[in-house]
């Protein structure tokens, strides 16, 4: 607590209400287990970067092409982030200015599509994302959206995807998901996209850290455009990036009949001035730190263990007779049908909250229930892995989850098991 009061001394002195909220959230994270697969814990170095004096600077434009003065160090930070992103993901161009994943996706689509053009992504109810053309998203209103699904077991159905692509002739095909527990075959998607003359956009927000560490195949060489957040398995701040190949041209020069070689310029223009104003340089500083961390052997070991832990949990759940979408996982997340317990995903989420485990209710493929009270839950292993947990801890954790779902009478015992794990594997030691 003494270190916490020192780190947050100015907030504590100047705004006790916000300090209490910050302190409470630190305790909540320390004393519980985050198992939402889209969450991770940023390092102290990343937290320091995003809380730096770069928060004070307005830097509209791009390095060496700003609209304000005083940009010596902002240019250095953004150029470092760009260089690291290109090297880590093996693309020729990187835009690190997107405020998050959703604006990155819309900017990427806006770069190559006109209003009313057809895009094709996975149906939200089957694991896709709102910004992949779902009807309530601007991407589903601004563009004509065709949606693909999965087979009855939750696997991608490439026969259906190819048939839909040939039928709708989309300008862009989107792959990459929020609730798909299996490896994405980028080569197969590229083949389908090329067959109908479409751009392939790979949204790797969930798996970016696994891709960076070589624990999931890379979209490099297959996708024309890659979008990602930086705060999930990549363990950075809440931000986004767009990657592609090619070299940007004069931003003021019109492009007639653009081709794929013009993607860097089209994307940069779509972000600024097309969608955003000044970039969040303090956040980009955090992205740069996270990208450096992701190039280390320690990060690679973390990513490998994330997958091992997820597979171990899936094995435990299968041995307990729980129902998993696709029967297991290849990555960091698990999608579970909880209806055999006589409860819904919302009830399961609330029940597990009682043992200090945070996860989220989630639709399962072909879910008969509505989105606000679906049949499943989604859980993942990035956060517990960052804390240092491995297969033995997954055995304890998996059984605690199964026990809690099976019978509320088991909550007390399961809560104790979680408490002991949290004490043994502290987060942000000393804070």
- Residues 192, 207: Cα–Cα separation, whole Å: 22
Long-range contacts of 359-365 (CB under 8 A, 24+ apart): 359/35, 359/36, 360/36, 362/179, 362/335, 363/124, 363/125, 363/126, 363/179, 364/154, 364/325, 364/335, 364/336, 364/337, 365/125, 365/126, 365/127, 365/149, 365/150, 365/152, 365/153, 365/154, 365/325
372 in catalytic set: no
Query: Is residue 273 reached through a cis peptide bond, with omega within 30 degrees of 0 on the bond before it?
Result: yes
Q: Which of 34, 123, 203, 393 is catalytic?
A: 203
Active site residue 58: yes
Cα 78 from Cα 84, distance rounded (Å): 10
- Which of the following is catalytic: 229, 233, 344, 404? 229
- Catalytic option among 84, 232, 311, 361: 232
At 210, list the tokens. 């696994």
Catalytic one of 39, 48, 60, 75: 60
Our answer to whether residue 194 is catalytic in this structure is: no
Active site residue 227: no
Measured distance between the N- and C-terminal CA atoms of the chain, rounded to whole angstroms: 6
Q: Reply yes or no on whether 203 is catalytic.
A: yes
Query: How many other β-carbons are positioned within 10 Å of the β-carbon of residue 71?
Result: 20
Q: What is the largest CA-CA distance in the chain?
A: 68
DSSP E strands, 150-239:
172-175, 199-203, 225-229
Residue 170 CA to residue 172 CA, distance in Å, equals 5
DSSP summary character for residue 262: G
Distance (Å) of CA 301 to CA 71, 122, 240: 37, 31, 24
If we measure between CA atoms, which residue out of 239, 224, 326 comes closest to residue 288? Answer: 239
Catalytic residue among 238, 292, 308, 390: 238
Nearest to 228 by CA among 203, 198, 252: 203
- Let me know if 60 is a catalytic residue: yes
Q: Which of 12, 31, 41, 58 is catalytic?
A: 58
Catalytically active residues, by annotation: 58, 60, 203, 229, 232, 238
């Amino acid at each position: 607590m003494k270190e916490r009061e020192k780190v947050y001394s100015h907030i504590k002195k100047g705004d006790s209400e916000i300090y209490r909220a910050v302190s409470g959230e630190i305790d909540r994270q320390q004393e519980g287990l985050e198992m939402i697969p889209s969450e991770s814990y940023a390092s102290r170095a990343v937290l320091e970067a995003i809380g730096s004096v770069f928060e004070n600077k307005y830097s509209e434009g791009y390095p060496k092409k700003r609209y304000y003065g005083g940009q010596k160090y902002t240019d250095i930070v953004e150029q470092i982030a760009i260089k690291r992103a290109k090297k880590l993901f093996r693309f020729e161009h990187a835009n690190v200015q997107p405020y998050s994943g959703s604006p990155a996706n819309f900017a990427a689509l806006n770069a190559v599509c006109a209003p009313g053009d057809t895009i094709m992504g996975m149906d939200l109810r089957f694991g896709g994302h709102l910004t992949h053309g779902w009807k309530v998203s601007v991407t589903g209103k601004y563009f004509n959206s065709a949606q693909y699904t999965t087979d009855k077991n939750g696997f991608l159905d490439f026969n259906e995807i190819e048939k839909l692509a040939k039928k709708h002739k989309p300008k862009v095909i989107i792959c990459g998901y929020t609730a798909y527990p299996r490896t994405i075959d980028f080569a197969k998607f590229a083949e389908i996209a090329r067959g109908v003359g479409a751009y392939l956009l790979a949204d790797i927000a969930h798996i970016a850290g696994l891709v960076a560490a070589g624990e999931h195949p890379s979209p490099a060489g297959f996708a024309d455009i890659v979008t990602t957040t930086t705060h999930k398995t990549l363990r950075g701040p809440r931000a986004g990036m767009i990657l592609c190949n090619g070299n940007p041209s004069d931003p003021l020069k019109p492009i007639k009949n653009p081709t794929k070689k013009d993607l860097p310029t089209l994307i940069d223009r779509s972000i600024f001035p097309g969608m955003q104003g000044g970039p969040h340089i303090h956040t980009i500083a955090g992205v740069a730190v996270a990208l450096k961390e992701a190039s280390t052997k320690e990060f690679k070991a973390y990513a490998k263990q994330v997958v091992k832990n997820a597979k171990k949990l899936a094995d435990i759940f299968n041995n307990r007779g729980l129902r998993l979408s696709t029967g297991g996982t290849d990555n960091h997340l698990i999608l579970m049908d909880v209806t055999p317990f006589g409860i819904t995903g919302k009830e399961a989420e609330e029940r597990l909250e009682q043992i200090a485990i945070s996860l989220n209710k989630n639709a399962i493929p072909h879910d008969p229930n509505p989105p606000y009270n679906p049949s499943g839950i989604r859980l993942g292993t990035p956060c517990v892995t960052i804390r240092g947990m491995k297969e033995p801890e997954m055995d304890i954790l998996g059984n605690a989850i199964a026990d809690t779902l099976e019978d509320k009478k088991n909550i007390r015992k399961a809560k104790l098991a979680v408490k002991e794990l949290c004490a043994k594997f502290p987060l942000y030691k000393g804070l």
